Chain A
Amino acid sequence: MSKYYLNYLDELESEAIFVLREVFAKFQNPVILFSGGKDSILVTHLAKKAFYPSKIPFALMHVDTGHNFPETIAFRDRLVNELDAQLIVGSVQKSIDDGRVAEEKGKNATRNALQITTLLDTIESERIDCAIGGARRDEEKARAKERFFSHRDEFGQWDPKNQRPELWNMFNGKHFEGEHFRVFPISNWTEMDVWNYLKREKIELPSLYFAHDREVVWRNGSWIPNSDFLKLDENDKIEKKRIRFRTLGDITITGGIESDADTIEKVAEEVAIMRQTERGNRSDDKRSESAMEDRKREGYF
């Protein structure tokens, strides 16, 4: 076999770098949507590679629900400092205080849907024309149809039936004033690819991704961490479990799984034999069969 070929991880890396450089060339004010989760950490790492030895030419934007894992915020601040990057924070609490959105009621209330307004308001006020995200097509069926360059109208909405065709590696980022793009450089990566790459590149992650002891409550089929933000009633039983998280989001809805995998090698191994999709532990996706599609149309990540 010829030696002139890339293995699949190198090819995915090269594709993502290509996309990130296209973003830099085509937009005035692009940002990376940074949640503190592994996918946005990966995208940030790839941006570092794409422009080396320059520093990354994108600000990091965090939509802060106010319900955070403290570890995520500490990690975010350290990374921003290390990259010497600008940080933009959109605060859901502020959107609530300003009367832009109202807090959901009831036991299973979350701030997940409220993020959409905060995200779109911040995109508008900061005049952002491109928000780079770490979404992947393997995550969910609505995301399987997503483009690398995904157009959003002046209301921030996605029209899945009227997407621009995307051929070869030619990306059309043209838009009118007030519209913006979401760009997904790791569209073609799977969860397994992400872990294999993080392992290979020895990329640092928040400790939450590794097995640790934590107080949790069993809810909707997964272990929800106990926190000041969680509404408990007499049926909830707080237990101590050894868990890790497969995705990181709002602390009130991010479920952990029982695990002893406390290193990246062990996590990658566990993912390889895992029989549940990673979003299976996200109660935000369980609300209906098209929960993700509906939120994405509205402007969700």
Chain B
Amino acid sequence: MKLENSQLLRFTTAGSVDDGKSTLIGRLLYDSKSIFEDQLDAIEKTSIRKGHEGIDLALFTDGLRDEREQGITIDVAYRYFTTPKRKFIIADTPGHIQYTRNMVTGASTANAAIILIDARNGVIEQTKRHSFIASLLQISHIVVCINKMDLVDYSEEKFNNIVAEYENISSKMLIKDVQYIPISALKGDNVVNRSKNMDWYMGAPLLHTLETMHISSDYNKVDARFPVQTVIRPQREGFIDYRGYAGRIASGIFRPNDEILVLPSGFSSRIKSIDTEQGSIDEAYPPMSVAITLEDDIDISRGDMIVRSKNKPECSQDIEVMLCWLNNSPAKPRAKYTILHTSNEQKAMIKEILYKVDVNTFNRDSDDKELRMNDICRAKIRTTKPLMIDPYRDNRITGSIILVDDSTNETVAAGMIISQ
């Protein structure tokens, strides 16, 4: 297998057992031969015990005991498969509204989202919800799989109608790249292999679509941002004066000799070297983990950000975000939380909730200001010290925050920065 140049694609699926989500994932794993014999044996036994005909592909995605008992997905589960072209990570999430926070979590690291539509039902509330979340989290590629085509006689007309219906809702959202595929996860049509039942469909099957999707440009290569995680000071022979700023490139490209600025202090310097354990390199780009050394001795520590002199993020204590509430206890007005932003940590206060968004209808509600679990709202946050921020739509890393409740240490909210 020639995998040396192959990339990693992370995608998310949302849905319940009824949509055929588990069957679809089972089908991808099964047809790409990512399922092992002992797993297959175990599932065959369970299928027979439950009286299913043949192997129930959905059983491959069974998780915790409670989930098996109830036959539902509760939490995000991560699954893996590899083809000769790519390695895939699936963030498999539940689809019901009470698990919005899990869908948001799964979507936060995804390059692509698969939206499943039952061909018999067309676009429903859940389709809108999943699309809204994909758009909110700025997933670059959406693949709409119109499933259960076998139950509508593989009808082209049915497919076209649903495409038109979906175009109607997606035009209201910020979705960059949408593709439509008619499939039957149960029968295997257009999942891994091209369907013989739908000659009218000219596009590629799902797996091929995922294998060839252009993802290199998903990272921002323009705005150079390097949040410092820690300082490497070996203090041992041969490296007495070594001082490397360790971190992962959030965006942009860094090269030795670049003129840089350290924020928030504003000191400027030049990059002396970009180091890895295997030696120094000429260029560093996202998502590389490196250590940067500078020409000048400047006081830099965790939470600082190295950027290029001519392209700075905004430094602000007032940020406006789309906030998703993740916790059982509702948001407390004007309460203080710890805010995490890149490697920075501050105290913060939710100053104002502007409006809540109904994830099913996209309607805004400016009257109900109580923020409960799974709610999504637009809010104003004030921090004790400035954060170095970019809008989320330009930069997933410098544009995202989480809030932690100091009394429980739980992660209570996730936010996508809009602007100051």
Contacts and interface: CB of A to CB of B under 8 A. Distances in A.
A4 to B, nearest CB: 5
A275 B414 contact: no
Interface string A140-182: 0110110000000000000011011111111010111000000
Interface string B194-220: 000000000000000000001111010
A145 B77 contact: yes
Contacts of A6: 7-8, 287-288
A84 to B, nearest CB: 10
Given A18-B248, A21-B229, A188-B78, A172 B409 contact: yes
Interface in B211-241: 214-217, 219, 221, 229-230, 232-236, 238-239
Contact of A293 (B3, B64, B283, B411): B64
B362 interface: no
B335 interface: no
A263 B214 CA distance: 36
Contacts of B283: 4
Contacts of B400: 167-168, 170
A7 B80 contact: no
Contacts of B76: 145
B356 interface: no
Contacts of B238: 53
Contact of B234 (A4, A54, A164): A54
B276 A49 contact: yes
B242 A175 contact: no
Contacts, number: 185
Interface stretch (A97-105, A122-130, A190-198, A203-211): A190-198
Nearest to A176: B409
A49 B291 CA distance: 11
A192 B383 CA distance: 44
Interface stretch (A9-17, A33-41, A66-74, A233-241): A9-17
Contacts of B317: none
Nearest to A2: B216
A24 interface: yes
A142 B216 contact: no
A41 to B, nearest CB: 16
B22 interface: no
Contact of A160 (B5, B36, B75): B75
A167 B4 CA distance: 29
A13 B409 CA distance: 29
A50 interface: yes
Most buried by A among B36, B219, B247: B36
A165 B326 contact: yes
B64 A138 contact: no
Contact of B343 (A14, A15, A25): A25
A192 B6 CA distance: 14
Interface string A281-300: 00000000110010000000
Contacts of A170: 340, 400-402
A165 B397 contact: no
A187 B3 contact: no
Interface string B273-307: 00111000001010111010000000000100000
B5 A24 contact: no
B102 interface: yes
B311 to A, nearest CB: 17
B291 to A, nearest CB: 8
Contacts of A1: 214, 216
Given A1-B216, A53-B234, A165-B102, A277 B38 contact: yes
B302 A161 contact: no
Contacts of A11: 7-8, 287
B82 interface: yes
Contacts of A166: 105, 411
Contacts of A231: none
B396 interface: yes
B289 A14 contact: yes
B62 interface: yes
A53 B239 contact: yes
Contacts of A77: none
A171 B77 CA distance: 17
A79 B82 CA distance: 32
B402 A53 contact: no
B363 to A, nearest CB: 25
A164 B235 CA distance: 37
A8 B86 contact: yes
A198 to B, nearest CB: 14
A42 to B, nearest CB: 14
Given A53-B239, A167-B108, A190 B75 contact: no
Interface in B31-73: 36-39, 42, 62-66, 68
A165 B414 contact: yes
B36 A276 contact: yes
B380 to A, nearest CB: 20
B314 interface: no
Contact of B216 (A4, A17, A165, A167): A4
A212 interface: no
A168 B221 contact: no
Contacts of A289: 42, 65, 68
Most buried by B among A11, A13, A145, A275: A145
Contact of B402 (A5, A17, A167, A290): A167
A219 interface: no
Contact of A277 (B36, B397, B414): B36
Given A160-B75, A276-B36, 14 more contacts: A4-B216, A5-B215, A5-B219, A7-B4, A7-B5, A11-B287, A18-B287, A52-B276, A54-B235, A54-B236, A141-B63, A142-B63, A165-B411, A174-B338
12 contacts: A2-B216, A4-B216, A5-B215, A11-B7, A21-B289, A25-B302, A48-B277, A141-B63, A145-B76, A160-B75, A172-B404, A190-B80
Top 9 A-B residue pairs of the complex, sorted by shortest distance between their CB atoms? A52-B277, A17-B289, A174-B409, A167-B108, A8-B8, A49-B277, A8-B87, A280-B38, A54-B234
